[in-house]
Amino acid sequence: MGSLLRSTRVLTGSVIVSSRFQLMTHCGIDHAIVRGVMYRADPFLDDGNHNPPKGWTNPYEVGVMRIEPEGTATFTSGELVAHFVQAPDYVPPMCS
């Protein structure tokens, strides 16, 4: 899951949207919903026990989500990076 914090449109280059984003990390980096569209992490990131990877905050990491025209997205927060692919039919696992 995740949420846009503030949107900034980029009018040049190949990036469609670059937005401040709060990415849910509690059960690892599995997916993000951006502007109503489901994206699946590629690859799934965790510590081996479905917790955030080392260096990521729990339960959220604040950073920037870049949505690319080819249906991919990249989340960055400092040196932390997660890649996503558009997956409209993906049903994320339960996280508790």
- In the chain, where the domains are located: 2-86
**Backbone φ, ψ for residue 95 (5° rounding):** -130, 130
Q: What's the confidence (pLDDT) of residue 35?
A: 87
Mean pLDDT over residues 29-51, rounded? 96
Q: Are 44 and 60 in contact (CB under 8 A)?
A: no
Q: What's the confidence (pLDDT) of residue 3?
A: 54
Q: How confident is the model at residue 11 (pLDDT cuts 50, 70, 90)?
A: very low
The Cα–Cα gap between 70 and 59 comes to: 29
Q: What's the confidence (pLDDT) of residue 69?
A: 87
Mean pLDDT over residues 13-23, rounded? 82
Query: How would you label 7-41 residue by residue, b for 16+ Cβ within 10 Å and e otherwise?
Result: eeeeeeeeeebbbebbbbbbbbbbbbebeeebbbb
